Amino acid sequence: MRLRLFLMGIAGSIFLLGSATSRPAHGMPPAPPTDACSLLTQARVSAALGVSVGAGQRVVPTSPSICGWAQPGDTTHSGKRLVVSIYVPLGKLTPADRFNSAKKPMQGITKTPVSGVSDDAIYAVTPGFGTGLIFKKGDSAFDVRVYGFSDEQIKEKEKTLALEIIAKL
């Protein structure tokens, strides 16, 4: 009887230890990121933009899903800078749904497919608001926006930074 209780205790301990592991089950994708400022380092953004930028800062203090990097002292936001957004659920829309909505044609916004960036990607050019690279990886979606450069430079830098983000996922 004691041996039976002992073996049941060992089996229970093994079960508990096995279920307490923090790694995802085999074949399960990692959890999507929630903090946009954790996706890129200050050094990496500075290198990509070719100027020194400050540490990433939440654009909305209560929301970790949008982060901006800018040149120190650029209080008017007119210099070289980067904004990264993680699409979060919005009402009944998942991040993937929001990405698919972003791909739909809209008057006044030019949308161009981009190859070589994750599962799916587009450049969205909005007059007065600039160019953004919107991309999807699995069930997650992101928006990368670079400012302060020519249109072609912006697209090149956005693609470079998007690939950096994808490498971390």
1-43 pLDDT, tens per residue?
A: 433 333 333 333 333 333 333 344 556 666 788 999 999 999 9
131 has pLDDT over 50: yes
Residues 148-159 have pLDDT tens digits of 999 999 999 999
Residue 99 reports pLDDT greater than 90:
yes
pLDDT(129) > 80: yes
Q: Which residues lie below 8 Å from residue 135, measured CB to CB, with a gap of 6+?
A: 99, 114, 117, 118, 119, 120, 121, 122, 141, 142, 144, 162, 166
- Of 114, 116, 149, which Cα lies nearest the Cα of 134? 114
Map out the domains of the chain as residue ranges: 30-168
pLDDT digits (tens, 9 = 90+) for 48-91: 999 999 999 999 999 999 999 999 998 888 899 999 999 999 99
Task: Pinpoint the alpha helices (H) of the chain.
Answer: 2-19, 42-49, 95-103, 151-168
**pLDDT score recorded for residue 27:** 63
- Domain 30-168 fold: Protein Transport Mog1p; Chain A (3.40.1000)
pLDDT at 29 (0 to 100): 64
Distance, C-alpha 120 to centroid of its chain: 14
